[in-house]
Amino acid sequence: MIEALEWVDARAAMQAMIDGTEHAGVLVQARYEQSADEYGQPDPATVEVVVYETPGGNIGYVDRLDEITLDVYAPRGEKAKKVAESVLRMVCGTNIDTPEGFLDTVRPRTVPVEVPYQSPVLSKATTTLQVIHRPL
């Protein structure tokens, strides 16, 4: 019988690190999906960071690399990009202990950029991270 390795949930680790922190002067909420009201409209007053896994990454002999994308939704203007830059500065580094497990390295794969988003009240910025960790 082959034993399978158990890995840190990199998406959950990033979400736990970001949720409830302050960036660019606003409190952010980290989620797996963008929230919406009963009509399907997002709340324009809430700054959200949607954290999800991106295809890619690899498993090495002793570690694993996951790619995690952060989409930041903020009120119209340049706030989304500023929040994304601040979040990137906070999460990147080495030897990071999270409630989900230990992360060896978190580094940017792409710089935060503002991307088109069809909303009269929100803007969107996105960035991708590489998360390196060992088995639990």
Rg of the chain (C-alpha set): 16
pTM (two decimals): 0.91
> pLDDT tens string for the chain (136 positions)?
446 788 999 999 999 999 999 999 999 999 999 888 787 778 878 899 999 999 988 988 889 999 999 999 998 887 999 999 999 999 999 999 999 999 999 999 999 999 998 888 899 999 999 999 999 8
Q: Which fold has domain 10-133?
A: STM4215-like (3.30.2000)
Check: CB of residue 119 under 8 Å from CB of residue 42.
yes
pLDDT value of residue 5: 82
